[in-house]
Amino acid sequence: MEEIKCKTLELLSQNCRISTAEIAKRIKKPRHLVAYHRDQFHKKHIILNHEVLLNYSCLGYTEYLVYLKIFQYSKIKQDLQKTIAAHPNVRWYGEVFPNYTVRICVLAKDIREFEVFMNHLEELHGKHISKKDILLQRSYLKTESYSTRTIVPKKNYSEMELNDSDKKLITSLDKDASQSLVTLSKESGLSIETVRQKIKRYQESGLIENFSTKFDIRKLGHHFWCNLMLKLNNMNHHEERLKTLIHSDVKFGRTRKTFGTWNIEMTVFGESYKHMHHVIEQLEDFFGDDLESHEIHIYKGNLLPTRLPKVIFG
């Protein structure tokens, strides 16, 4: 892919709200060429959407990642999907294989609230759940899925309360995080300056971690992608080295630290399943004996696209 296309895609991944003029300035290319390629990304549906990545811990919530192995899945698929989609704490839901059947992202204020969700799920479908694994999200090591830029996260997040106007503005951003201040002002009923100040406050507090662009990775040459789960010993010793590694190549996508069976969940893009074996070999050489185990979770598809959880924004 041409350099101008690669650099434009990378900057959009880092900040979908960036202007065409700013992209041209940063990559030192004529503005009209950047505008042309940006327009082509939309026309060829390389750009799927623009998203705002929120840090829900700023609102007092913990994100739980639930992996379930479902027996006789085809029989209960529709009922299970209705149950999960209707629950106000669910943020995302999709199908995976081979070791699990579904992956669910759930937000809860505390362990009791999470147990209410799990009890409800098991009450309705427990006899079909043959295996489960639960991870707690700790923090992101890489927030963009098509970038080599390292973003230093805020170390101290300030918990905040959202009023109705905050919720309305964030809902508008969630629809399309690249919308102009003028459009956001119309949708939220707030003045342009108020919108500007609120977005700045969300970013400074750590609530908004990133404005990113999601791409059709197949049209970028990546025909295989998965979540690679890692169990690392001496995690503190390897954390900075791992950040350097995952920001060295766009094949390493969004990566988070977790607590549970695995302490790293990393999105990886590749040309094939065979290519994924080369990635694993690279990681084995990189971490040596401290890489205790790994597991590949391949996505079959989204059943519930990423959404603002109704428990907060309902």
**CATH number for position 223:** 3.30.70.920
Q: How far apart are CA 242 and CA 228, in angstroms?
A: 14
Domain that holds residue 62: 56-138+303-313
Coil, helix or strand at residue 240: helix
Parts of the chain with a pLDDT under 70: 151-156
Beta bridge partners of 65: 105, 135
What pLDDT sits at residue 155?
60
Which residues, including other chains, have CB under 8 Å from residue 25's CB and lie 6 or more apart?
Answer: none
CA 67 to chain centre: 16
**Same domain (yes/no): 147, 268:** yes
For residues 237 and 144, state if they share a domain.
yes
Report how many domains make up the chain.
4
Question: What length is written for the chain?
Answer: 314
Q: Are 128 and 73 in contact (CB under 8 A)?
A: yes
Tokens of 190: 């707030």
SS (H, E, C) 93-116: EEEEECCCCEEEEEEECCHHHHHH
Residue 202 has a pLDDT of 95
In a domain, 210, yes or no: no
Predicted confidence at residue 147, as pLDDT, reads 87
Contact 54, 174 (CB under 8 A): no
- 274 and 145 within one domain: yes
Integer-rounded Cα radius of gyration of the chain: 20
Residues 144, 240 within the same domain: yes
In a domain, 224, yes or no: yes
User: Phi/psi at 133 (nearest 5 deg)?
Assistant: -140, 130
At 262 the three-state DSSP class reads coil
| 307 and 285 in a common domain | no
CB 11 within 8 A of CB 29: no
Provide the 3-class DSSP secondary structure of residue 53: strand
CA distance 91 to 103: 11
Residues 248-287: b if buried by 16+ CB within 10 A, e if exposed: eebbbbbbbbbebebbbbbbbbbeeeeebeebeeebeeeb
CA–CA distance, 256 with 262 (Å, rounded to integer): 11
Q: How does DSSP classify residue 219?
A: G
Residues 144 and 228 occupy one common structural domain: yes
Whose CA is closest to 211, among 186, 184, 179, 188? 179
Give phi and psi for 296, each to the nearest 5: -100, 130
Q: Is this prediction's pTM over 0.85? A: yes
CA–CA distance, 216 with 218 (Å, rounded to integer): 6
Q: What is the pLDDT at residue 276?
A: 87
